[in-house]
Amino acid sequence: MANERRYQLQSEEANRQLDTLLAGLGVHPETSQYYAQMLTTVLKLFEDGADVGDLKIANSALKELRYAFKVFSQYRTMPKVTVFGSARTPRTTRSRSRRTTSAAGWWRRDGW
C-alpha cells in the first residue's frame, strides 16, 4: 500500500511500518487511508523539524477536534448553527445590532 499512496513520508521503511501498524490494528479499509494521511502529517512535522511551539498548537487542535467530534456525535443528524463574532464588540456597535436582528429573524423564520 505504501507505494500506492501519493502523500507519504520520505522514508519508504517508515511508510511500510505505518501500513503495517494500521493493518495490525485492524483499521477498516474504508477509513485506513484517512488514518494513514493523518499519521503521515504528524510524522511530516517531525521530518520538517517543527519546533515545540508548532507541535503544541497542532497537538491541542487535534485533541480538541477529537473531543468535539465525540461530544457532538449524538447530534450528527441534527442541523447546527455556528456563529462567528467577537465578545469584545461593544453592544452599541451598529453592525452588532444588525447582525443580532438578522440572526433572530432567520431563526424564527426557519423554526429554530
pTM across the whole model: 0.66
Q: Model confidence at 82, in pLDDT bands (50, 70, 90)?
A: confident
When pLDDT is averaged across residues 47-74 and rounded to a whole number, the result is 96
Report yes or no on 70 lying in a domain. Answer: no
Residue-wise DSSP of 2-20: TTT-SS--S-HHHHHHHHH
Report yes or no on 89 lying in a domain. Answer: yes
Report yes or no on 5 lying in a domain. Answer: no
CB neighbour list of residue 10: distance below 8 Å, 6 or more residues apart: 47
- pLDDT for residue 2: 46
Mean pLDDT of the residues in the chain: 84
Which of 2-6, 52-56, 59-63 has the least mean pLDDT? 2-6
Domain count, the chain: 1
Report yes or no on 63 lying in a domain. Answer: no
Report yes or no on 85 lying in a domain. Answer: yes
- pLDDT for residue 6: 84
Q: Is the pLDDT of residue 3 over 90?
A: no
Give the domain extent around 96: 81-112
